[in-house]
Structure 1
Amino acid sequence: MSTASQLAKIALLRGMSESDLIDLARAARWHKFDEGEIIFDRQSDCRGVYLVVEGEVDVVNYSNQGREIAYARVKTGDFFGELSAIDGLPRSANIVAQTTCRIAEVSRETFSELLKSQPEIAFRVLEKLVRIIRTADERILDLATLGAHQRVCIELLRLAKPDPVKPDGWLVYPMPTQAEIAALASTTRETVARVMGQLVEDGMIRKVHKTVYIGSREKLAELAQRLNPRREDTPAR
C-alpha cells in the first residue's frame, strides 16, 4: 500500500484529493515505534503533527511523585501534537507507544499551510480542541467534587458500552489494567483494586477474562453518588 493510500485512512485528511495526499506523503517524515517507546517527552522542542497510520499511543503526564496521569489514547486513523504545532510552545504531555506504531510526522509549516488551504481540516482540528476542553472541564469537576472511590466508578461508567448480546446490558471490553484506570481516575492502583474487589463482592460487576460486565448501569451510577466524597482537603477543626 502506498504512503498516500495510508494517509487516506486518517480521519483528519478525509476528502483530500489524491494528488494532495501524494504531496503530503512526500513531505512527511515516516517513523516506526515499538511498544513502550517514548515518541516525545513533555517540554520537547519538536513542533510537528503526528498522524497515526497504524497502532495506538498514550498521552500521559507524571506527577512529582512519579504517578502516571493518563489524558487520552490515540488510535489508528487519529492524530496528535496539534497544540505545539499551533502555538509554537513546548509539548504539554508525553507520548508513549502503546503498541507497535507507524506514524507520519507533518512539520509545523506544512500543517499550518494545510489548515489555511483546507477549511474542512481546520474545522476538524477545532472540533478536537473543543473535545479536549470539555474533557478537561469534566476532569477538573471530578477532582474538585468526587472522592477516589467515586472517580473509579465514574471511569467504569465512561468506559461502558452496550452489551451486544444482553438487552439493556453494559460491559467494558477490553478492560484496562488497574494501573490504567488509576491514571484515568487520578488515584492509586491499590485503590482501584479495592474498589473493583468490592464491586465484585457486592454483585455490581462480574469479571470474565478481559471483560467486565456491569449488572446495572443505573445502580452503579447511584452507588457512585452515594459514596463519601474525599476528605483530605477538609480543613482540620
Structure 2
Amino acid sequence: MEIAAARRILGSDAWLDGLPSDTREALLAAARIRAVGGGAAVYRAGDPGDGLHAVLEGEVRLIGHSEAGRRLVYLILRPGDWFGEMSVLDGKPRLHDAIAFGPSTVLHVDSTRIDAIATAHPRFDRALGALTCQHQRAALAFVEQTLTASTEARLAFILTEMAGRHGRPVGTGVEIDLRLSQEDLAALVGVSRQSLAALLGRLRRERVIETRYARLVVLDLETLQHRCGRSRS
C-alpha cells in the first residue's frame, strides 16, 4: 500500500482531521507502512514504545492478560483508528499486546520522527493528549460498566458501542461487522463462554439480537440502550 492510499483511508478520521494541515502533512510524510500477518503482534506488553500507529486494513486488538490467565480484550481497532499514543507521551513500555486479527496493514510513525514533529509543531503534544483522553474516556466508561453493572447490562453496553462503531445497516437491523467468536465476546464482557451463551440465548429469544457465524445482528437497539442506561427517553 502507498501513502496516498493511506491518506484516503485516514481522511475521514476526526483526530487526524483536527490537526493543523501542516502538522497532518508532517505526520503522514514521516509514516511507514507495514503488513502484519494474522495473529502476529504489532507490539507486545513490556516492549519499549516505538511510536504511533494507525490501522489501514484489517483489524488490531489491544489485549491484556489477567493474573489468572484470562485474556482481556480492551479495544478493537479498525481502519482509521490510531493507537499506541500513551507510550509516546510517557516514554514507558507498552501496557498491552497489539495483535492483528487476520492479515492487516498498519501505518507507523517511529518515536524519533514523532519527537521531531512535536518540536516543529508545538500543538502536536496536545493533540496526542487529546487522543489519549479519547481512549481513556472509552476505557473509563467500560470500567464503570464492569464494576457497577450486571453482566446483562455489560453485554448490552458493549453491543451498543459496537453497533455504533462497527455496525452497518442490514434489512433486519444493524449488523456488527466484526469477526467475533463467542470467546472474543466473552473476553470483552468479562464472563465465561458458558455464561455468555446463556445471555445471548436470552436476547435471541426476546428478538433483541440475531446471531450468525462470527457475526451478530442487533434487531432492537433501543432495548439494548435501555438496558445499559443509554436510553434517550
Coarse TM-score class (shorter-chain normalised): 0.7 to 0.9
Choose which of 29, 34, 48 in structure 2 pairs with 1:31: 34
User: Could you say what secondary structure the match of 2:30 adopts?
Assistant: helix
Letter aligned with residue 201 of structure 1: R
Partner of residue 204, structure 1: 208
Give 5+ residue unaligned stretches, structure 2: none
- The residue number in structure 2 matching 1:149 is 152
Q: Single out whichever of 119-128 and 146-155 deviates more from structure 2.
A: 119-128
Moved more, 117-126 or 93-102: 117-126
Q: Are residues 2 and 147 of structure 1, via their aligned partners in 2, closer, same or farther at CA, if it must alter by over 3 Å?
A: closer
Alignment match, 1:8: 7
Aligned amino acid, residue 198 of structure 2: R
**1:91-138 per-position Cα deviation (integer Å, ceiling 9, x unaligned):** 011100112123343221211222333356545423321212212221
Higher deviation after alignment, 46-55 or 147-156 = 46-55
Displacement of 1:218 in angstroms is 3.5
Per-residue deviation, 1:195: 0.3
Question: Could you tell me which amino acid in structure 2 is paired with residue 180 of structure 1?
Answer: D
What residue is the counterpart of 1:214 in the other structure?
219
Please identify, of 188-197 and 40-49, the stretch whose mean Cα deviation from structure 2 is larger.
40-49
Q: Partner of 1:191 in structure 2?
A: 195
Paired residues for 1:70-219 under 5 Å? 70-118=73-121, 121-161=124-164, 164=169, 170-174=173-177, 176-208=180-212, 210-215=215-220, 217-219=221-223
- In structure 2, what is the equivalent of residue 229 of structure 1? none
> What do the CA deviations read for 1:168-209 (whole angstroms, capped 9, x no partner)?
x74232253222222222222221111001111233333355
TM-score when normalising by structure 2: 0.77
User: Is 2:85–2:131's contact at 8 Å kept on the other side of the alignment?
Assistant: no
Distance 1:99 1:115, change over 3 A: farther
Q: Percent identity?
A: 22
1:60-107 deviation per Cα after TM superposition (whole angstroms, max 9, x unaligned): 101122212111122223322211111111101110011212334322
1:164 CA displacement: 4.2
**Tell me, which stretches of 5 or more residues in structure 1 are unaligned?**
226-237
Q: If the length of structure 1 is used for normalisation, what is the TM-score? A: 0.76
Residue 51 to residue 149, structure 1, CA distance change in 2 (3 Å): closer
Aligned residues: 218
Distance 2:25 2:163 in 1: 41
* Contact persistence 1:170–1:214 (CA under 8 A): yes
Give the whole-Å Cα distance in 2 for the aligned partners of 1:221 and 1:116.
44
Tell me by how many angstroms 1:214 deviates: 2.2
Q: Which amino acid aligns with 1:8?
A: R
Gap change, CA 1:142 and 1:106, over 3 Å in 2:
same
Correspondence for 1:234: none
Of residues 129-138 and 33-42 in structure 1, the stretch that sits farther from structure 2 once superposed is 129-138
What SS does the aligned partner of 1:99 have?
coil
Measured in 1, the distance between the counterparts of 2:26 and 2:168 equals 41
Is residue 182–residue 196 contact of structure 2 (8 Å, CA) maintained in 1? yes
Q: CA RMSD in A?
A: 3.1
- Distance in 2, Cα, partners of 1:164 & 1:24: 37
Q: Is the 8 A contact 1:59 1:71 kept in 2?
A: yes
SS at match of 1:160: helix
| Max Rg structure | 1
Contact in 2 for aligned 1:159/1:172 (Cα 8 Å): no
